[in-house]
Amino acid sequence: MNVITKPYQYFRLDIHEICGVEQNGKHTFQLAEFQFTGKSVSKATQGDVNGDGIVSGADVTALYNVLLDNATPAGDADVNEDGVVSGADVTALYNILLGD
């Protein structure tokens, strides 16, 4: 179980259905308050080196470019969270992609 400890710059709230009274052909919606809780999350964002929100083979390429000093990561290149970007992060990223 991984717990995200780094702050996020953006959050997305998806509302798929609104129930209620229709006024002038439109449903109204009011969001007065919501709270983020300290809930654990999956590895879905761990390994997103290129910062596109998806962990895929493109992140492997991005990580290699970071290791070769050809790029600055848009996401987090320290995949195994040991404080160093190295070949061990490539192994960690492959493990995420393979579901290990």
- Phi, psi angle pair for 83, to nearest 5°: 90, 0
* Residue ranges of domains in the chain, CATH in brackets: 43-98 (1.10.1330.10)
The residue with greater pLDDT, 31 or 93, is 93
pLDDT of residue 86 exceeding 60: yes
**pLDDT value of residue 38:** 53
pLDDT of residue 88 exceeding 60: yes
Calculate the alpha carbon distances from 57 to 22, 27, 48, 66, 87 in Å.
Answer: 45, 41, 10, 14, 16
**pLDDT value of residue 51:** 86
Q: Give the global pTM.
A: 0.54
Section 36-44 average pLDDT: 50
HEC string for 41-62: ECCCCCCCCCCCCCCCHHHHHH
